[in-house]
C-alpha cells in the first residue's frame, strides 16, 4: 500500500526521471564521493545517486520510510538515519568532504541553507530542489536581498532548471527549481567577528526598504556611517538592494 504523504512534513516526491537525473548531474557526482541526501522520501533520487557511484548518507524525518529505504537499498553504499535535517550533525558520521543533495520541504529552505553554511564541516557543493521564486531571488534577481547575499557570501549559486509542479506527487501549488551552490567556503571572512559584523550590517541595512542604506546603517555605524560607506565604494544615495556582495564585504572589513 502506498505511503500517504504528510503535508506537515512538506512531502512532495519527485519521480520524473528527467529531473532526477538533472539534479544528480548538477551535483557533479564522481564515483566514491560521499553525498548527504536530505529527505530521500521513497528513494527515487537516492537510486540515481547510487547509480552514479555515490556513497549516500540519508537523513529522513518520516520514520515510516526508514524500513522501506533500508530494504530497497540493502547491500548498497547507503546509510539512512531517522532525524530532523536541521538537527543532524554530519560530523558524527564523516569528517571528510561531501556534497549535500535533496528535494527539501519549502518551509525549511532558509534555515537549512544557513545550517549547512555555518557547519564546521561544510559541503563542497550543494544541490537542492526549492521553490522557484526563492531560487530566482537567490541566483537570478537583479536586486539583492538578505537571502541572496547570505548565500553568495559562502558560495556561487546557480539556477539550474525549473521543475514544474506536475512533476511531483502530490503536486505542490507552485513550481520548483534546481539550485546549485558551488565552491562553498568561509574564505570571505577572516574570523567569526567579521562574519557576525557582515550579517549585522545586512540585517540593519535591509531594515527599512523605504530608507537609504546610509540611514538604515547609522544606528550601527554612528557618525562615521557616511565615511565608511564612501571607503567601501558605496554611493551615499544607495539602497541596500543595489549594493553587490563585494561592497558589503568591504564594509564589514572596515
Q: 237 a known binding residue?
A: no
Residue 91's H or E segment, with its range, is none
CA distances from 153 to 81, 198, 238, 254 (A): 30, 9, 20, 17
Q: 203 a known binding residue?
A: no
Compute φ and ψ for 181, nearest 5 degrees.
-125, 115
SS3 label, residue 109: helix
35 alpha carbon, distance to own chain's centre: 15
Q: 12 a known binding residue?
A: yes
Contacts of 223 (CB under 8 A, 6+ apart): none
How do strand 168-169 and strand 176-182 relate by DSSP bridges? Answer: unpaired
Q: 60 a known binding residue?
A: yes
SS3 label, residue 252: helix
Q: 39 a known binding residue?
A: yes
Residue 133's H or E segment, with its range, is helix 132-139
Contacts of 198 (CB under 8 A, 6+ apart): 153, 188, 189, 248, 249, 252
Q: 15 a known binding residue?
A: no
Rounded Cα–Cα distance for residues 68 and 46 (Å): 12
Rounded Cα–Cα distance for residues 195 and 128 (Å): 24
Q: What sign results for the dihedral spanned by CA atoms 147, 149, 150, 152?
A: positive
Rounded Cα–Cα distance for residues 188 and 195 (Å): 8
- Annotated binding-site residue numbers for S-adenosyl-L-methionine: 12, 14, 39, 60, 84, 103
- Annotated binding-site residue numbers: 12, 14, 39, 60, 84, 103
Amino acid at each position: 500500500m502506498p505511503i500517504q504523504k504528510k503535508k506537515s512534513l512538506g512531502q512532495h516526491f519527485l519521480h520524473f526521471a528527467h529531473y532526477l537525473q538533472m539534479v544528480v548531474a548538477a551535483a557533479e557526482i564522481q564515483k566514491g564521493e560521499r553525498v548527504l541526501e536530505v529527505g530521500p522520501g521513497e528513494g527515487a533520487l537516492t537510486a540515481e545517486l547510487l547509480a552514479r557511484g555515490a556513497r549516500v548518507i540519508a537523513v529522513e524525518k518520516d520514520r515510516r520510510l526508514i524500513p522501506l529505504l533500508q530494504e530497497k537499498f540493502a547491500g548498497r553504499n547507503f546509510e539512512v538515519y531517522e532525524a530532523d535535517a536541521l538537527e543532524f550533525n554530519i560530523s558524527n558520521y564523516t569528517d571528510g568532504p561531501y556534497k549535500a543533495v535533496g528535494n527539501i520541504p519549502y518551509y525549511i529552505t532558509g534555515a537549512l541553507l544557513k545550517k549547512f553554511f555555518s557547519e564546521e564541516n561544510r559541503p563542497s557543493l550543494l544541490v537542492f530542489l526549492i521553490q522557484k521564486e526563492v531560487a530566482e531571488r537567490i541566483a537570478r534577481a537583479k536586486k539583492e536581498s538578505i537571502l541572496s547575499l547570505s548565500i553568495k557570501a559562502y558560495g556561487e549559486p546557480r539556477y539550474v532548471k525549473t521543475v514544474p509542479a506536475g512533476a511531483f506527487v502530490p503536486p505542490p501549488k507552485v513550481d520548483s527549481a534546481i539550485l546549485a551552490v558551488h565552491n562553498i567556503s568561509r574564505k570571505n571572512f577572516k574570523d567569526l567577528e567579521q562574519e557576525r559584523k557582515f550579517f549585522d550590517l545586512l540585517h540593519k541595512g535591509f531594515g527599512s526598504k523605504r530608507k537609504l542604506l546610509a540611514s538604515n546603517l547609522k544606528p550601527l555605524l554612528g557618525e562615521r556611517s557616511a565615511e565608511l560607506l564612501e571607503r567601501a565604494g558605496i554611493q551615499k544615495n544607495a539602497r541596500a538592494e543595489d549594493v553587490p556582495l563585494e561592497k558589503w564585504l568591504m564594509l564589514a572589513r572596515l
